[in-house]
Amino acid sequence: MLFQLSFNLQLSYMASNLKFAKELITFLGKSVIALLETMIFTFIPRPRKNVAGEIVLITGAGRGLGRLLALRFAHLGSVLVLWDINKEGNEETCRMAREAGATRVYAYTCDCSQKEEIYRVAEQVKKEVGDVSILINNAGVVTGSDFLNCPDDLMEKSLDVNFKAHLWTYKCFLPAMIANDHGHLVCISSSAGLVGVNKLAGKRNVIFCTHKLFYNLSYSALNNQH
Ligand SMILES: NC(=O)c1ccc[n+]([C@@H]2O[C@H](COP(=O)([O-])OP(=O)(O)OC[C@H]3O[C@@H](n4cnc5c(N)ncnc54)[C@H](O)[C@@H]3O)[C@@H](O)[C@H]2O)c1
């Protein structure tokens, strides 16, 4: 009996060692491939995707990163759909994008923490502009408080804008991307979501949500279950 137990323990020890060795080899192999890829693409630049004419929707376009993204896409000849809760800031971005060369820019006031409002404005965009082919979920709010000191409504707002809005916008625009077999979903997250930074927990949800969606879609595609 004792011999059997020690034999089983040894077997499970060997199995966990083998598993560890396999994971280590996979990790090292992938690291070498990534390193080689980086070295090669440092000398031979990757061909860049042409986004001229693509319909690009950017949430939180009224200032900051959203505005900078809008100006970049304006230079690249994309059709811009700008969403923000702040009408004034959004219209300012719209004006700047036109000055930067965009010929078609549409600004919509939308509170991304409100599901019904997202659904309503998305329908308006589909009618007035067309099928969005690049969706950039950029709008974000930061609570900036310790967990225990953070007011409930601020926590809820953070989840609504930083996380749930991604789900609702995917539901609005993903079907056309699948039907057209063309499109990109981009989510602006933060390294704070990877390493865990005090007062910035919400961003982890965004990374989790995107990974889940990616696996979900890959699985559906493999099984032709769009
Ligand atoms: N700035 C940074 O250092 C940094 C670092 C990591 C990640 N990020 C992320 O990048 C994104 C943009 O950051 P930023 O610094 O440009 O932010 P910002 O605060 O300057 O701009 C955010 C924009 O989102 C809009 N917005 C907020 N709530 C909204 C709502 N309910 N509906 C619609 N629009 C709303 C705001 O009006 C504003 O125009 C955010 O998701 C942020 O978490 C920023």
SS (H, E, C) the chain: CHHHHHHHHHHHHHHHHHHHHHHHHHHHHHHHHHHHHHHHHHHCCCCCCCCCCCEEEEECCCCHHHHHHHHHHHHCCCEEEEEECCHHHHHHHHHHHHHCCCCCEEEEECCCCCHHHHHHHHHHHHHHCCCCCEEEECCCCCCCCCCCCCCHHHHHHHHHHHHHHHHHHHHHHHHHHHHHCCCEEEECCCCHHHHCCCCCCCHHHHHHHHHHHHHHHHHHHHCCCC
The residue type found at 82 is: L
In angstroms, the CA 155 to CA 143 distance is 7
pLDDT > 90 in the chain, percent: 62
Confidence of residue 149 (pLDDT cuts 50, 70, 90): confident
Task: Give the burial class of 223: count Cβ atoms within 10 A of its Cβ; 0-12 exposed, 13-18 middle, 19 or more buried.
Answer: exposed
Bridge partner list, 79: 55
Q: What tokens does 50 get?
A: 């042409």
Task: Compute the Cα dihedral for 204, 206, 212, 218 and give only its sign.
Answer: negative
Cα-to-centroid distance, 99 and ligand 1 (Å): 23
pLDDT of res. 200: 58
Question: Could you tell me which residues are beta bridge partners of residue 184?
Answer: 134
Atom of ligand 1 at shortest range from CA of 161 = 31
As given in the structure block, the two tokens for residue 169 are 């916008």
At residue 222, the pLDDT reads 47
Which two structure tokens, joined as six digits, stand for 65? 């990163």
Which of 44-53, 105-114, 134-143, 166-175 shows the lowest mean pLDDT across its residues? 44-53
Give the pLDDT mean for 111-125: 98
- 165 within 8 A of 187, measured Cβ to Cβ: no
- Ligand 1: distance of its center to the CA of 111 in Å? 13
pLDDT of 201 > 60? The answer is: no
Strand partners, 82: 58, 107
Mutate to test the pocket of ligand 1, among 57, 59, 63 (most ligand atoms within 8 A of CB): 63
Whole-angstrom distance, CA of residue 80 vs CA of residue 179: 21
pLDDT of residue 225: 43
Burial of 97 (0-12, 13-18, 19+ CB in 10 A): buried
- Mean pLDDT across the stretch 123-127? 98
- For the beta sheet containing 184-187, the strands, ordered from the edge strand earlier in sequence to the opposite edge, are 105-109, 79-84, 55-59, 134-137, 184-187
Token pair listed for 91: 């219209």
The residue whose CB lies within 8 Å of the most ligand 1 atoms, and thus the one to mutate among 57, 67, 84, is: 84
